[in-house]
Amino acid sequence: MSKELAGRTALVTGASRGIGAAIARELADAGARVVVNYCTHPSLARAVVEDIRAAGGEAEAFGANVADPSQVQGLVAFAVSRFGGVDILVNNAGVHHHQPVEELTLEEWHRLMAVNLTAPFILSQYVLPYMRRQRWGRIINISSIDAFAGTSVEAHYGTSKAGIVGLTRALALETASQGITVNAVAPGSIETDMLAVHSEERRAALVAHIPVGRLGRPEDVAYVVRFLASPRAEWITGQVIHVNGGEGFF
């Protein structure tokens, strides 16, 4: 495939495994230099970096808890010092757990919002000056089917992912005239650690509701992110691309 992102730098949060790791590898395959952000799995992040380098790409791992604004600032500063800026930001890091709404504490609500919604806002604030200066940039936010279909015992998660859609559209309007596009990808049921906890019966029930007949793979999401990051997607902004095999018919 072509190196359509050669000379660009991508920062991918939560990129040590799952969807984030697949996105990091795919953007590197397109020629981008990639900062692989991680929080709690340094060895996995290093493995992603090693994979990228073995394939002839450039990548660096950097640990930062995106719920901490000071660490976010350090993450962006690292990308700037190592690669000269951030051309592509992929806000992928997220947390998720099941909790009935009446049992959900305010602290749990705030913790999830800090990672899933506030961090993409802060990261966008930090990278936009570089993008505005060069009049080119891509911000790609990872939302979820749960933002549209709703989900039981995950009110906080679904709300955070719906917020991502609002943030995406607002930023798209603010930046469209400066060569910057802002889009979101909303995955359906993807084979990641979030699904690994489910029983075989639960997984079979999920597949039964997917017209394509299988769970998604992280690469299914990564291919869409690669396109949205590319010059070919310059007339697409403020959109949500659903990657779900027909699940929910979105």
Residue 164's contacts (CB-CB under 8 Å, 6 or more residues apart) are 91, 116, 117, 120, 141, 142, 143, 147, 184
Q: Which two tokens stand for residue 103?
A: 């049992």
How far apart, in Å, are the Cα atoms of 203 and each of 181, 183, 189, 193, 247? 35, 29, 9, 13, 14
Question: From the candidates 38, 130, 157, 223, which is the catalytic residue?
Answer: 157
138 sits in which H/E element: strand 137-142
Spatial separation of the C-alpha atoms in residues 46 and 56, rounded to whole Å: 15
Spatial separation of the C-alpha atoms in residues 3 and 27, rounded to whole Å: 9
**Phi, psi for residue 37 in degrees, rounded to 5:** -85, 145
**Catalytic: 223?**
no
Residue reference for tokens 């073995």 = 54
Residue 29's contacts (CB-CB under 8 Å, 6 or more residues apart) are 1, 55, 57, 226
Q: Which residues are catalytic?
A: 157
